Structure 1
């Protein structure tokens, strides 16, 4: 079933890149022409984004709460938490714990993640850092 294989690929990406903290998963699991939120970033750009996020929240916990697949698309609703230990969106490390959710829709092409659209409450994260 293509839907199951696509969901497995998305699970693998988040497990390797976030849970196992291996940003090199971007080279293995994303297409060379990967596009994020309409911007062509390629594997390198996405790897830099993962590394930036993990530097800001080095103990980041991640859980996929809902995963749906249809045709070449996979939707993932996720819960995150971590300690703010590095710069994030202009905010210096605070040592505060943050919790937030995000939703991503990912397009799979030829067994790789080719495109992603993410919605994350960055404002809510910054509010938690200021509290």
Structure 2
């Protein structure tokens, strides 16, 4: 990765993930645009933060582990690994505190160095298989 734009995007993404893991909501605006969109829903930064806070309430031990990341100056593609115990229902499944490991595939569009749009998909089939075997 020799391109300075790619290096900047990679560093920004790593700092964004660190912000999420620290639950440092006061810095979230440093990484996402005021009009950020998630999976086609216009949330704005406040709605995006509310979504993340709910994720942490539903999964108290939530931690974003970056398995793979590819960046250029306008896009970030990432495979995130989660090793956690959601309380209650998660993605419509009765996890109820059981331990699961799964991945999320996320694609971020950057605008002026910040995340403007996120498309993400969680590997629900893997969670379902783990729940059946527990």
| Shared fold (TM-score, shorter chain, > 0.5) | yes
Instruction: Report the TM-score when normalising by structure 1.
Output: 0.84
Q: Secondary structure at the match of 1:8?
A: helix
Distance verdict in 2 for CA 1:122–1:42, change over 3 Å: farther
Alignment-derived partner of residue 18 in structure 2: 15
Name the Cα RMSD after superposition: 2.1
Distance 2:61 2:28 in 1: 19
Distance 1:26 1:45 in 2: 12
Alignment-derived partner of residue 34 in structure 2: 32
Deviations for 1:97-125, whole angstroms, at most 9, x for unmatched residues? 11101111111111211111111123543
Alignment-derived partner of residue 121 in structure 2: 119
Of residues 46, 49, 60 in structure 2, which corresponds to 1:47? 49
Gapped runs of 5+ residues in structure 1? Answer: none
Question: 1:2 and 2:5 equivalent?
Answer: yes
Rg larger for: 2
Instruction: Report the TM-score when normalising by structure 2.
Output: 0.82
Gapped runs of 5+ residues in structure 2? Answer: none
Deviations for 1:79-111, whole angstroms, at most 9, x for unmatched residues? 111112355345566221111011111111112
Distance 1:83 1:23 in 2: 22
